[in-house]
Amino acid sequence: MSQHEILFPKPVTVLVAGRKVVVTPVRFRDFERFGQAAAKAIAIAAAETTVQLYAQARESGVLLDVLRSTTTLSRWRIRRLPAAAAVQLMYEVIRVNKDFFEQALVSAASVLAGAQQSSD
């Protein structure tokens, strides 16, 4: 990868109840909302059971925020997912996007390190 190339995350396809669902990267317009929702989801993960986690995530709006902006599922489908599938999909979305941001940070650090060395 050249130092002037911008990384674009690739969508990931997962199976949910036998149906292909595409997990997409977070769009800039959804970035702040996704970050807040993901932080809430991670905090909620301390719940004792999947059902409790699902109930808390749905009540707080986290589930719909995360899944609607980053998957090909409609609101109608999201609301009808089994609790375990919805929670697992929510964490898959967070994982896919987290991995991309970590890669972007490493890339940015290496570009900045190279710029710093060339100015010395």
User: What pLDDT score does 14 carry?
Assistant: 92
Give the per-residue pLDDT at 76.
Answer: 92
Handedness of CA 18, 20, 13, 77 (dihedral sign): negative
Ranges in the chain, pLDDT < 50: 1
pLDDT at 21: 95
pLDDT for 72: 94
Q: What is the structure's pLDDT at 22?
A: 95
Write down the pTM of the prediction: 0.68
What is the pLDDT of the chain when averaged over all its residues?
A: 78
Q: Are 70 and 97 in contact (CB under 8 A)?
A: yes
Tokens (6 digits) for 44: 């909620």
In angstroms, the CA 46 to CA 100 distance is: 25
From the list 99, 88, 93, the residue with the least C-alpha distance to 67 is: 93
Query: pLDDT of 25-57, one tens digit each?
Result: 888 788 787 777 777 777 777 766 777 777 777
Res 104: pLDDT: 64
Q: What pLDDT shows up at residue 66?
A: 82
Numbers of helices and strands, H then E, in the chain: 5, 2
